[in-house]
Amino acid sequence: MVSAAEQLAANLNFGALAKSEELKKRIWFTIGALLVYRVGTYIPLPGIDPAAWEQIFRSQAGGILGMFNMFSGGGINRMAIFALNIMPYISASIIIQLMTTVSPRLEALKKEGESGRKVMNQYTRYLTVVLATFQAYGIAIGLEGAGNAVTEPGWFFRISTTISLTGGTMFLMWLGEQITARGIGNGISLIIMAGIVAELPSAIAGMLELGRQGALSTALILVIILMSVVVIAFIVFMERAQRRLLIQYPKRQVGNRMFEGQSSHLPLKLNTAGVIPPIFASSLLLLPTTVASFNASGGGSGWLTTVTALLGHGQPLFLILYITLIIFFAFFYTAIVFNPTETADNLKKHGGFVPGIRPGERTAEYIDYVLTRITVVGAIYLAIVCLIPEILISYAAVPFYFGGTSLLIVVSVTMDTVAQVQGYLLAHQYEGLIKRSKLRGRQR
C-alpha cells in the first residue's frame, strides 16, 4: 500500500514551482549571486599586463596553476580579483575542524550548539583572512618575478594586490553564506561548481581544437567522452547508494486501543562525506604550492622549485598525497557530520531499536561499525573517481575540467541542489493539502 508521502513524492513535478513564491525568490537570488561571482572573475587586478601574463600562464597551465585555475573559475587565467576564489576559506575550515580534536576549547564550543557554531564560524573567518593575506602576498611577489607580467613592480603593487585578492576571497565567503541562507543549496559548493561549469564549454572547444591539430587522436577523444559519461553514471549510482538499518518500534497502548509495533529504516549513505574530501584534499595541496608555483614561473630556484616539481600533476608524490588526503577526509568528515552515539540515544528515547541489538551503547557501537565499513567503500570510490582521470590528465594533456574531482563536484552539487528544490516543492504541496483539507472541513 502506497503511503500519502510516497504518493505525493511520486506526483511531484516542477510545475508546482510557479505556485511557490518563496522557492522562486530563492532560485532567483542564487542565480543573481552566481552571476555576481562570474562578473568578478573578469575584473583584472590593477598593474597586470594581460598579454604578458597570458603567455606565462599558458607555459604553466599543465601543472598546479591549471588545477588552481579550474577551482577559481578561470580567475587565474585572467588574474582577476577572485583569483584566490573560496579556497582559503575551505583551508581555514579544515584547520578549525582539525583543531577541534586537539583543543578542549574548540571541542567545548562544538558541543554548545548554535552559539558555539557561531563562534567557530567567526574563528574560521579570522583564519581565512590570515591565509588569504599570506597567499595573496605570495602571488604578488611571484607576479613581480614572473618576467614582465607587472607593469610597475613595487610595494604599491604588492599592497594593492594583497588587498584586492584578500577582499575578493572575503566577499565570496560572504556571498556563499548568503546563498546558503537565502538561496538554494550550499553556497560554497555552488560557487566552486559555477566556476567549473562556466569554463567547461571552452575546455571542450580546446580539446576539440587539439584533436583538429593532431595533438589528440580521435580515438582518445572518444575514450575521454565515454569515460566522462561512465564516471558521471558511476557517481550518480554511488551517491544514491545507502545502507538501510531496520529500526523496530514496540507495541504501544493509547487509552483502550493497542497499536501494533511499527518498523522504519535508518539510511546510512555510502558516501556520507559527499564532495568535501576531494575539495579539502585539493585545497591543502594548493595551499603550500601557491607561492612555489609563481616563484618557479619567474625562474626561481631552491626548495620552492623542488616543491612545485614534486607536486606536479602525475607525479607519484602528488598522487599519493591526494589519495591519502581523500581517504583521511572521507573518514574525518563522516565522523563530524554523523554521531552514532547521538543517533542511538535518540532512537532509545523514542523506543526504537535495531533487532538483535541492545538499545543504547551497543546500538551506537553497531551503527559505528556499519558506518565504518561503508565509509571504507565510499573512500575507495572517491579515490578511484579522482585518481583515474588525474592520470589521464597528466599523460594525455586532457583539460582539468574532465577530471574526476570536477565531475564529482558538478554531479554531487547538482544532485544536492535538486534534492533541496524537491524538498521545497514537497513542503509546498503538503501545505496545499493541509489548506484544502481545512477548507473542506469548514464547508462540511
CATH value at residue 105 = 1.10.3370.10
Position 138 scores a pLDDT of: 81
The radius of gyration computed from the CA coordinates of the chain, to the nearest angstrom, equals: 25
pLDDT digits (tens, 9 = 90+) for 385-440: 888 767 766 666 565 555 667 788 888 888 888 888 887 777 766 665 666 666 66
DSSP string, 153-204: -SHHHHHHHHHHHHHHHHHHHHHHHHHHHHSSS-HHHHHHHHHHHHHHHHHH
Number of domains making up the chain: 1
Task: Say how far residue 76 (Cα) sits from the centre of its chain.
Answer: 19
**Least-confidence region, from 88-97, 182-191, 306-315:** 306-315
pLDDT digits (tens, 9 = 90+) for 214-253: 777 788 788 878 888 888 888 889 888 888 888 887 766 5
DSSP string, 304-345: HHHHHHHTSTT-HHHHHHHHHHHHHHHHHHHHHH--HHHHHH
Rounded distance, CA 194 to CA 198, Å?
Answer: 6
Give alpha helix (H) positions in 41-154.
Answer: 50-60, 64-71, 75-78, 87-99, 104-111, 114-145
Half-sphere exposure of 381 (CA within 13 A, CB side): 27
To the nearest whole percent, how much of the chain has pLDDT over 90?
13
Average pLDDT of the segment spanning 56-77: 70
Position 2 scores a pLDDT of: 39
Residue type (1 letter), 323: I
pLDDT tier at 91, thresholds 50, 70, 90:
confident
Rounded distance, CA 410 to CA 414, Å?
Answer: 6
pLDDT tier at 1, thresholds 50, 70, 90:
very low
What is the pTM (predicted TM-score) of this model?
Answer: 0.77
**Residue 6: CB atoms within 10 Å:** 10
Give the β-pairing of 252-254 and 263-269: unpaired
Position 404 scores a pLDDT of: 67
The separation between the first and the last C-alpha atoms of the chain, rounded to the nearest angstrom, is: 28
**Least-confidence region, from 64-68, 120-124, 167-171:** 64-68
User: Is residue 305's pLDDT more than 80?
Assistant: no
C-alpha cell at 441: 472541513
Q: Give the CA distances from residue 75 to residues 32, 78, 79, 300, in Å, rounded to whole numbers and listed in that order.
A: 19, 5, 5, 23
Please tell me whether residue 379 adopts helix, strand or coil conformation: helix
pLDDT tier at 7, thresholds 50, 70, 90:
very low
pLDDT tier at 5, thresholds 50, 70, 90:
very low
Please list, in sequence order, all residues whose beta carbon lies within 8 angstroms of the beta carbon of residue 259, skipping any fewer than 6 positions away: 251, 252, 253
User: Is residue 311's pLDDT more than 60?
Assistant: yes
Average pLDDT of the segment spanning 70-74: 74
Position 430 scores a pLDDT of: 63
pLDDT tier at 103, thresholds 50, 70, 90:
confident
User: Is residue 338's pLDDT more than 60?
Assistant: yes
Rounded distance, CA 283 to CA 104, Å?
Answer: 26
Position 115 scores a pLDDT of: 78
For residue 357, the enclosing domain spans 4-443
b/e per residue 107-118 (b: at least 16 CB within 10 A) = eebbeeeeeeee
To the nearest whole percent, how much of the chain has pLDDT over 70?
77
Mean pLDDT score of the chain, rounded to an integer? Answer: 79
- Look at 323 and 214; give whichever has higher pLDDT: 323
Question: Which of 163, 223, 199 is CA-nearest to residue 389?
Answer: 223
Average pLDDT of the segment spanning 285-310: 59
Q: In what helix (H) or strand (E) does residue 281 lie, and over which residues does it extend?
A: helix 276-297
Q: Which residue has the cell 543517533?
A: 343
C-alpha cell at 147: 618576467
pLDDT tier at 354, thresholds 50, 70, 90:
confident
